[in-house]
Amino acid sequence: MTLQTVGGDLNERKRLIPYKWEMLIWLWFAFFLHLVDRQIFNNLLPLIKVDLHVSDVRLGLVASIYTGIIGLGVLVGGYAADVWRRKWIIVLSLTVWSTATLLTGLSTGLVTLLIFRGLASGGGEAFYYPSAASLISQIHHKAKATALAIHQSAQYVGIIASFLGGYIGERYGWRSAFYIFGGFGIVLGAIQIFRLRDTPHEMAAWTNTEAVVARPPIGMVLRAILGNSTALVLLLALAGHVFVNTGLAYALD
């Protein structure tokens, strides 16, 4: 055992909450805001439509671009989580989508909704989950399923809590909801800069040579996924799940 390891163990014992659980708490709140920010737009659609005089078709275009950006961006985000430092991907992702959420409150019409909501929010959110799941799986290697389940619970709590966006919108105006939740996300991102550790990947130390040797090319990764029938079935199942959920959400609105 090295002196550094002994020092790390001693520091860990002095913590009120072990780091692996503190990290999970911070990621839980980030994922919670991710889902709240995603859902409040749906809840506030009637108010946005009336105030900005935007048709249902154009609001549907904003939602389609937002969903498409997330769908494509998450592939890039997954590869980035294997190559870059995951702490900073998480912090930047949270800060970008929260800033975009806040700026959505300044929207004046279709173009600004497309930029702030469709492009910026979708692009920021796409990079969060792969890095978060990777970090959780690495740090909680002995209780991986439990930790991932706790993290996933933020999705449903966030959806339930998104009614607050509708309440704030009706009481104080729809823009206030975006300001509040976007502001919370920016503050949380600043906190995570200091509370999350820059944990290196297990498969390679952070040197360019080792990183290139240890990781297969993206083409090889895609061929392995597309050539796996189980992976394709799971992809189709998840696509159907998201299609139904998204369609129902906008049909109800």
Q: Are residues 26 and 116 both part of a single domain?
A: yes
Residue 7 lies in a domain: no
As a residue count, the chain comes to 253
For residues 63 and 171, state if they share a domain.
Answer: yes
- Are residues 239 and 143 located together in one domain of the fold? no
Q: 192 and 87 share a domain?
A: yes
Q: Which of 11, 17, 14, 111 is nearest to 65 (CA)?
A: 111
**Out of 3-12, 21-30, 35-44, 104-113, which region has the weakest mean confidence (pLDDT)?**
3-12
- Check whether 204 has a pLDDT greater than 60: no
Number of compact structural domains in the chain = 2
Statement: residue 118 has pLDDT above 80: yes
Among 111, 94, 84, residue whose Cα is nearest residue 26: 94
Answer yes or no: is 91 within a domain: yes
User: What's the CATH number where 33 sits?
Assistant: 1.20.1250.20
Q: What is the pLDDT of residue 207?
A: 47
The answer as to whether 9 is a domain residue is no
DSSP-assigned letters across all residues of 11-34: HHHT-SS-HHHHHHHHHHHHHHHH
Residue 196 covered by a domain? yes
- Give the pLDDT band (50/70/90) at residue 248: low
Selection from 241, 244, 245, 221 nearest residue 231 by Cα: 221
**How far apart, in whole angstroms, are the C-alpha atoms of residue 201 and residue 138?**
8
pLDDT at 5: 41
Whether residue 73 sits in one domain with residue 164: yes
Is residue 93 domain-shared with residue 201, that is, in the same domain? yes
- Is the pLDDT reported for residue 175 higher than 50? yes
User: What is the predicted pLDDT for the residue at 16?
Assistant: 81
Spell out the residues 6+ positions from residue 1 whose beta carbon is closer than 8 angstroms to its own: none
| Per-residue 3-state assignment (H helix, E strand, C coil) for 66-127 | HHHHHHHHHHHHHHHHHHCCHHHHHHHHHHHHHHHHHHHCCCCCHHHHHHHHHHHHHHHHHC
Q: Indicate whether 159 and 184 sit together in one domain.
A: yes
- State whether 140 and 119 are in the same domain: yes
Question: 179 and 228 share a domain?
Answer: no
Could you give the dihedral angle defined by the CA atoms of residues 160, 162, 168 and 173, in that order, rounded to the nearest 10 degrees?
Answer: -150
Q: Report which of 49, 27, 51, 243 is spatially closest to residue 155, judged by C-alpha positions.
A: 27
Taking the alpha carbons at both ends of the chain, their separation in whole angstroms is 59
Residues 158 and 180 in one domain: yes
Q: Is the Cβ–Cβ distance between 46 and 172 less than 8 Å?
A: no
What pLDDT was estimated at residue 228? 85
**Which residue do the tokens 């009481």 mark?**
171
Judge whether 53 lies within some domain: yes
Q: 249 and 133 share a domain? A: no
Backbone angles phi, psi at 5, to 5 degrees: -65, -45
Domain that holds residue 30: 18-205
What is the mean predicted confidence (pLDDT) over 121-149? 93
Residues 6 or more apart in contact with residue 26 via CB below 8 angstroms: 188, 191, 192, 195, 196
**Overall average pLDDT of the 164-178 stretch:** 94
Q: Which residue has the higher pLDDT, 114 or 236?
A: 114
Q: Is a pLDDT exceeding 90 seen at residue 183?
A: yes
Predicted pLDDT at 201: 75
Whether residue 105 is contained in a domain is answered as yes
CB 87 within 8 A of CB 30: no
Same-domain check for residues 98 and 54: yes
- How confident is the model at residue 221, as a pLDDT? 72
pLDDT for the residue numbered 26: 97
**In the prediction, which pLDDT does 213 show?**
45
**What is the band of 245 on the pLDDT scale with cuts at 50, 70, 90?**
low
pTM, full prediction: 0.81
Q: Is residue 70 part of a domain?
A: yes
In a domain, 2, yes or no: no
Q: What is the mean pLDDT of residues 64-73?
A: 90
